[in-house]
Amino acid sequence: MKPFVSDLIRHFFDVFRGKKIFWHLLAIGLTYAIVVSGLDWWYFLHVRSDLIREGSWPAIILGGILPIVVPILLLIGGWISKNKHILLSGRVLAQAVILGSAVSSLYKALTGRIQPDTVNFSVDISHKFQFGFLKHGIFWGWPSSHTTIAFSMAFALISLYPKQKWIHVLAIMYALYIGLAVSTSIHWFSEAVAGTIIGIVVGTVVGVGTRSRLRA
């Protein structure tokens, strides 16, 4: 447990260290461009349909449940079977989920982005932020936690197993499904874009930082 916590703390600071800060700035810059250009509002209006809504809600549920269930099952399965790879996969995914949630929640606490109103389409609220601390909680807003965590998990596995292409394909498919689904429902498009970038950073830090244990 102690190595897990120490790795978690180290990886958290690594997410913001060195050149990786430029990826955070990219997420912020793209968000600004998407918001001021009106693309967020345009996208929101053009994805209003029953078919899209029906396809997106399963992703919202899966994006909330799988990040909890999958790491736990892998950790239990790896412990029972004494399989180092399964155990390490569970450990990496658990860290990716925790850090993805922590980083996205930190940003949400500071930006206070107002979520889409899926009932009233007459007023453009895509530009509304409440900058400060905890002015709009940590459950809504920028970036999308669903997307950040999904891409954190995906790129943690991709970085941990760089030669396992089937893992890469499945991980990317899952993350893209979650990101696209939430961008058409509970989040603005720019929040999914930012969550993708930040999630890739988090997942890569965790995966690369843990990969050496496979050779130990």
Whole-structure pTM value:
0.95
Residue type, 91: R
Judge contact between 102 and 95, C-beta under 8 A: no
Closest CA to 173 of 157, 162, 184, 160: 157
Q: What is the pLDDT of residue 77?
A: 96
Q: What is the mean pLDDT of residues 159-179?
A: 96
pLDDT at 215 over 90: no
Task: Retrieve residue 80's tokens.
Answer: 């029972």
CA 153 – CA 206 distance, rounded (Å): 9
Q: Which of 90-94, 128-132, 172-176, 210-214 has the lowest mean pLDDT?
A: 210-214
Percent of the chain with pLDDT over 70: 97
Q: Respond yes or no on whether the N-terminal peptide bond of residue 58 is cis (omega within 30° of 0).
A: no
Percent over 90 (pLDDT), the chain: 83
Shortest CA distance to 152 belongs to which of 193, 196, 199, 207?
A: 199
pLDDT the model gives residue 199: 98
When pLDDT is cut at 50, 70 and 90, the band that residue 2 belongs to is low
Q: Which residue has the tokens 């394909």?
A: 169
If you average pLDDT over every residue of the chain, what do you get? Answer: 94
Residue 49 makes CB contacts below 8 A (sequence gap 6+) with: none
Note the pLDDT of residue 210. Answer: 86
State the pLDDT confidence band at 70, using cuts at 50, 70 and 90: very high
Q: Cα–Cα distance between 178 and 120 in angstroms, integer?
A: 24
Could you tell me the CA-to-CA distances from 158 to 11, 92, 142, 190, 196 in Å, in that order? 17, 11, 25, 24, 15
